[in-house]
Structure 1
């Protein structure tokens, strides 16, 4: 899939900081989808490892019965991040303005990006940075559904269906050249009486 700048335009191009200024202490997928997300993270993230929760909020949906050495959150709202009980440290940063991550090379054993990829206007740059801060062999898990703030989701996301979303996110991984075994899994709860849930997974080369 070839990407161009027009794909990443949004209805609302005002400062993202204004949009996220007020905390939203709500979840953005329903409980069955959250349970499926937590199960996925439990399967793929290494216990005791240092985990990066990218575009984090007041909940990370990590398993509560697994101990991680570190869970670093990077998000847009300081209040939301401060109320996340699973974060060991957090940073407020707008990735659409500054895609460079404030972490060292090979600092993390895994990264999650949960139901927020649709808001990235420089996704390949951000994914490349994730590759930089991950250790070789570390998983990067991007979870997505069909829920969104339509004024802030990029145009290409809104134009695609679930299969198109999967292809788009896989393209982000591929264009970095830093990930292998890139695949998308349908993790939607069964029977489908809840939000659909998909996860694209790549492993740092």
Structure 2
């Protein structure tokens, strides 16, 4: 990964994340067309009947409603939101910026989604290396993002880049993690005026990190 400037992962608000996320936010953070684009990606990449990890999860799922999965596990910051998510079989409350180690076994999942949240990670490479560990080899990770965020909690480098720069940055995270293949960026923005854009970076797990 290209060397990032000092302070790249600082935030304007460095108070504990638990305080910021203590209040449930039962709202959507991208519009309906962008949400539909996320759902379509999940439809294309996640295997029906598979074990799916919804990382940095909240109160709604963007999984396609017509597809049944063997199990969907959520990990997020607000228990009230996670309890409201009807697609989750179970959930974990965990601050990945404090503890990037995922509480799951090797090769446990068939797919993972991170929806409009990667910009809040202060240790993204560590987290994504962990995701590669808990996914079965060849399983997809879909990281989606738009041009919206909680600005005080997004890392400094995110604010310094445009949409294409965000895509390259997330691709670099996965390359630096060292256990991902087939890394590619996608523009799935709805082709309508006044819709939120939607970008994705997709990779496939190469198994536990061997570096």
Normalising by structure 2, report the TM-score: 0.95
- 1:132 corresponding residue in structure 2: 133
1:93-112 maps to which residues of 2 (within 5 A)? 93-112=94-113
Alignment RMSD: 0.8
> What are the Cα deviations for residues 34-80 of structure 1, in whole angstroms up to 9, with x where unaligned?
01111110011010000000000001210000000011000000000
> C-alpha displacement at 1:192, in angstroms?
3.8
Q: Structure 1 stretches (4+) deviating beyond 3 angstroms? A: none
> C-alpha displacement at 1:176, in angstroms?
1.2
Normalising by structure 1, report the TM-score: 0.98
1:198 aligns with 2:170: no
Structure 2: unaligned runs, 5 residues or longer: 207-211
Structure 1: unaligned runs, 5 residues or longer: none
The residue matched to 2:131 in structure 1 has which SS?
Answer: helix
- 2:190 corresponding residue in structure 1: 189
- 1:34 corresponding residue in structure 2: 35
Q: 1 CA distance for matches of 2:24 and 2:112?
A: 23
The residue matched to 2:182 in structure 1 has which SS?
Answer: strand
- 1:21 corresponding residue in structure 2: 22
> What are the Cα deviations for residues 81-110 of structure 1, in whole angstroms up to 9, with x where unaligned?
000011111000000000000000000000
The residue matched to 2:56 in structure 1 has which SS?
Answer: strand
- 2:158 corresponding residue in structure 1: 157
- 2:148 corresponding residue in structure 1: 147
- The number of residues matched between the two structures is 205
- 2:73 corresponding residue in structure 1: 72
The residue matched to 2:157 in structure 1 has which SS?
Answer: helix
- 2:209 corresponding residue in structure 1: none
